[in-house]
Amino acid sequence: MRLGIIGAMVEEITPLLEKFGEHKKIQVGGNTYYEITKGVHKIFIAYSKIGKVHAALTVSTMILHFQCEKIIFSGVAGGLNADLKVGDLLLAEKLCQHDVDITAFGHPLGFIPESKVYIEADKNLNALAKQVAKAQGIDLQQGIIASGDAFIADSEKKQWIISNFKADAVEMEGASVAVVCDLLQVPFCVLRSISDSADGSADVSFDEFLESSAKRSAEFVLKMCESLLEA
């Protein structure tokens, strides 16, 4: 198997690289990809840099250049659902782009012609994530993740995203990964650990909890990797 794992920031992949140990660095398109060999399997890890464009480029490179057969995105997100607290793990059932707006042409928010508002994550990878959570005694929550090229730290904008997309969490990359994987027919899942509440205190909370939340998400992805490579 050839597996791709992406984070948006260096903090989101550092725990993975530390765990896997020996790796080879490969430069493609201005980014570094870390290749790890596990028996007959290959794992490619990269932090895309923040935002939908960088994430789309990174996942496209993993699929088209490195021939990755499955993609896992691991990182942090702002909580929209009041039941989500800092450190909670959220598995995306589906993802949308909250900053896409061509309503002037009669389309719904988030819709792009020849596409759709919501992209569903792979059911098999999500089922595996649930199995890992159960085995580890982890409360893995599920929901809708909204992505956009803005860090949400405003209660009014937060409520707007909730109202229009019924989203449970917000971040800046997941939906673009979903779009690419959906078009190229590659199974994917997006796992996020909550780092802030996407409100007026989000910037402070994010800085304080980024590392611990990213590590929690990465540790969970490691368990998923173990299960995938043993299958």
Which residue from 187, 228, 221 is spatially nearest to 89, judged by alpha carbons? 221
Catalytic annotation present for 12: yes
CA atoms within 13 A on the CB side of 60: 12
Catalytic annotation present for 196: yes
Pairing of strands 31-38, 119-120: unpaired
Catalytic residue among 12, 122, 173, 199: 12
Catalytic residue among 122, 182, 196, 199: 196
According to DSSP, the residues that pair with 45 across neighbouring strands are: 5, 34
Q: How many residues does the chain have?
A: 231
Task: State the DSSP string of 165-196.
Answer: H--SEEESSHHHHHHHHHHHT--EEEEEEEEE
Tell me the catalytic residues: 12, 196
